[in-house]
Structure 1
Amino acid sequence: MNVVIPTEDSKMQHIIEKVRHGQRLSLEDGVYLYESDDLLTIGQLANEVAIRKNGKKVYFIENMSLYFTNVCEAHCAFCNFRKDEGDEGAYTLSGPEMIEYVEKHFHPGVREFHIVGGHNTNVPFQYYVDSLKALKERFPEVTLKAYTAAEIDFFSRISGLSYKEVLEELMKAGLQSLTGGGAEILSDHYRKKMRVDKADVTQYLEVHRTAHQLGLRTHTTMLYGSIETKEDRIRHLMHIRELQDETNGFLVFIPLSMQPINPRAGIRRRNSAFEDLKTIAISRLMLDNFQHIKAYFINIGVQLTQVALTMGASDAHGTIVKEKISHAAGALTPEGITREDLIWLIKGAGRIPVERDTFYNEIKIYE
């Protein structure tokens, strides 16, 4: 049952009525929500949608983040993870080295490896295939959620294979889902100004479309908080909403709050808590065809994640174990979190923790 949301704002009231009657929000609606200071109304409305879709359940997974290499041909303005070959700290792990790293940190509860890395032209496409194969042979029970759409585009360029052929080779090696990174802001003028030196808007969407056509469920993101406009953000959401209408292949949307350490990105301060919460809530309201919106504690912090669970988010991500990319960019949050702390966090928000697998199959409900 919906509660009364008091507002004297006629435009906001119109948006409330649209959401409650299942009508899709427009570009104008989304921009208006961003321009509004009424976070409580926006958050309460997003909470209604989240509860309508998932009840009071909030999902999490036991996972590990893995990075085969940080050597990268791209020079994106906002990235502090990449290195050139020969730089101090540059690395490319062999299959046995990756297995050794995983065995050092692995425990039986881990259900997913989240695998991303640099666009390393010093190794062939087969290296990326063999890396997955080695992990799958050693840990057959763990889901391989690997590579971004930008990486798939890179693999296509260095191998001469189509997106479909690249994905089919990776699927044979054990690939089960794509990560969501590489989207940044899906705007050509943004990507030019921010020197997003990788897959463009059309290519990012086409990789995910191809993956969905092959039966892969994937993830998608938005990296916000630099030079983009509010309209850029809403158009980004509309791009992925349109593809979801077509394929229904996305599992979750993850808003990523920009971290400010790299001066090349032109960012002087972090996003405010207000902006982070508003972005999560607006994402929930705009993406009516997505089941889940994730609150990513690595970028917004554990405490704010807890608040976000009452403003539209229905996923608290996972244990992660040693996240590197956001921390290289200046994240001040933990590099990982325990299952017990995630359960505490979710229950503290008045929600029901649900341990899941990559595909949101429920493993255990913690009443």
Structure 2
Amino acid sequence: MSKSSIAISSLLEKAVAGERLTSDEGLAILQSHDLASIGAAANAVSRRMHPEPFRTYNIDRNINYTNACTAVCDFCAFYRPPGHPDVYVLPMDVLLKKIEETVALGGEQILLQGGLHPKLPLEWYEEVLQTIRQHFPQVNVHGFSPPEIHHFTRISKLPLQTVLERLKAAGLGSIPGGGGEILVDRVRKQITRGKALTEDWLNVMRVWHQLGGKSSATMMFGHVETLEDRIEHLERLRQLQDETGGFTAFICWTFQRENTDMDHLPPAGAFEYLKTQAVSRLYLDNIPNVQSSWVTQGEKVGQLGLLFGANDMGSLMI
């Protein structure tokens, strides 16, 4: 056994025992190619944190209320610039119909997200939330990623806390971790323009948590970032969780290149996905749940994810 494999083994034992990894230690594990050992350690941590003999999933639906977006993200195949003929804003009756269909299938939550629309006022979003609560009070609205909320502060010219208080009063239940990508400004500036930077993203989550709200955290990797950037991203999440305790789950996935301006990049692949998710489970010792991203990785790799640190399969994506 080489010195490097012995060192990695000791780091994995440290994480399994519940001791916190440093950023250098997390990076050393991420740089290793011993997928089996890393996965076994992540699975051991997951089983220690979740000894119950089952794993979970959500019955919910992703509803995109608009595809108009003032940001330009090279990795996004969804958005359309304002004024484009394909731009839409979902009518309220269509949105309610989608929720009705979700409830009929046993759903209790919707993921409500969209682009950064330049003209919709804060009152529009409040009305959407109020209408959903009026018709479906049992449904949790997991909605509006930090870049969207940061955008709301700019269009309303109101403080972040005021915007979040108003959204919460209108019926916002929790916030998704979308728009996190990689929480390193050098990377963010390479792949997106006109969108929230690292501190903006973190501060939305911080203030939401201070108001008693819960949220998920995400990471989209496998593009222009380095392994060091992935660890820095995890470190920023862990630090904020130490501060607020408001993250309930972490989800990571690989960059999906089809129909994007970055489609020339090679795909990250299942090996890199499983290793990165496993390292995330080892590193994020204060976030209780890790979701496997079967939607982006496919069913088989998604199932494997349950042996590489995940304890939840996430959404069924009705």
Alignment partner of 1:122 is 2:150: no
Structural mapping, 1:70-109, within 5 Å: 70-104=67-101, 106-107=103-104, 109=106
Cα shift readout 1:291-344 (whole Å, capped 9, x = no counterpart): 1111011111111011110111001012221xxxxxxxxxxxxxxxxxxxxxxx
Match of 1:143 among 114, 133, 140: 140
Tell me the TM-score normalised to structure 1 length.
0.83
Which moves more between the two structures, 86-95 or 53-62? 86-95
> Residue deviations 1:213-256, cap 9 Å, x none?
00001011001010000000000000000000011100000102
SS in 2 for 1:114: strand
User: SS in structure 1 opposite 2:55?
Assistant: strand
Deviates more, 1:183-192 or 1:253-262: 253-262
The answer to whether the Cα contact below 8 Å between 2:99 and 2:110 also exists between their aligned partners in 1 is no
Indicate the SS of the match to 1:309.
helix
Structure 2 counterpart of 1:10: 6
Q: 2:293 matched to 1:287?
A: no
1:196/1:277 CA distance change after superposition, 3 Å: farther
Match of 1:271 among 268, 272, 286: 268
Partner-residue secondary structure (3-state), 2:314: strand
Determine helix, strand or coil for the equivalent of 1:175: coil
Q: What letter matches 1:184 in structure 2?
A: E
Distance in 2 (CA, whole Å) between partners of 1:120 and 1:185 is 23
Shift of 1:264: 2.1
Contact 2:82–2:118 (Cα < 8 Å) also in 1: no
Task: For 1:147-296, list aligned pairs within 5 A.
Answer: 147-265=144-262, 267-296=264-293
**Inter-CA distance 263–176: structure 2 relative to 1 (3 Å threshold):** closer
CA positional deviation for 1:7:
8.2
CA apart distance, 1:211: 0.4
Q: What is the aligned partner in structure 2 of residue 21 from structure 1? A: 17
**1:219/1:251 contact within 8 Å kept:** yes
1:64 has 2:43 as partner: no
Q: Which range is displaced more, 295-304 or 80-89?
A: 80-89
Q: Give the deviation of 1:196 after TM superposition.
A: 4.5
Residue in structure 2 matching 1:298, options 290, 295, 299: 295
Provide, for residues 40-70 of structure 1, a one-character-per-residue CA deviation record: whole Å limited to 9, x for no partner: 0000000000000001431111111111111
For 1:244 and 1:145, the matched residues in 2 are separated by 19
Deviation of residue 166 (structure 1)? 0.7
Shift of 1:99: 1.5
2:31 counterpart of 1:31: no
In 2, the alpha carbon distance for the partners of 1:51 and 1:103 equals 36
Structure 1 CA distance for aligned equivalents of residues 193 and 25 of structure 2: 28
**Which amino acid in 2 is paired with 1:169?**
R
What code does the residue aligned with 1:69 have? T
For the residue of structure 2 that corresponds to 1:293, the secondary structure is: strand
Superposition deviation, residue 80 in structure 1: 1.1
1:293 to 1:139, Cα distance in 2 relative to 1, 3 A: same
Q: Which runs of 5+ in 1 are unaligned?
A: 1-5, 322-367
Aligned-CA RMSD value? 1.6
The alpha-carbon distance between structure 1 residues 90 and 46, as it changes in their structure 2 partners (threshold 3 A), is same
Partner residue in 2 for 1:110: 107
Deviation at 1:263, TM superposition (A): 4.6
CA drift of 1:14 comes to 2.1
Q: Distance in 1 between matches of 2:289 and 2:152?
A: 29
TM-score by length of 2: 0.95
Paired residue type of 2:10: H
CA distance in 1, matches of 2:256, 2:115: 18
Corresponding letter in the other structure for 2:305:
A
Runs of 4+, deviation exceeding 6 Å = none
Q: How does 1:336-347 map to 2 (within 5 A)?
A: none
What residue identity is the alignment partner of 1:218? S
Aligned 8 A contact 2:65 2:89 in 1: yes
Match of 1:336 in 2: none
- Cα offsets for 1:90-141 (capped at 9, x unmatched): 1002323321343355415111011100110122111111111111111111
Are the equivalent residues in 2 in contact too, given 1:226–1:266 (CA < 8 A)? no
Please say if residues 164 and 210 of structure 1, whose CA atoms lie closer than 8 Å, have aligned partners that are also in contact. yes
1:51 corresponds to: 47
Contact 1:217 1:250 in 2 (8 A): yes
Number of residue pairs the alignment of both structures matches: 316
Measured in 2, the distance between the counterparts of 1:181 and 1:88 equals 26
Seq. identity, %: 35
| Cα distance between partner residues in 2 of 1:103 and 1:50 | 35
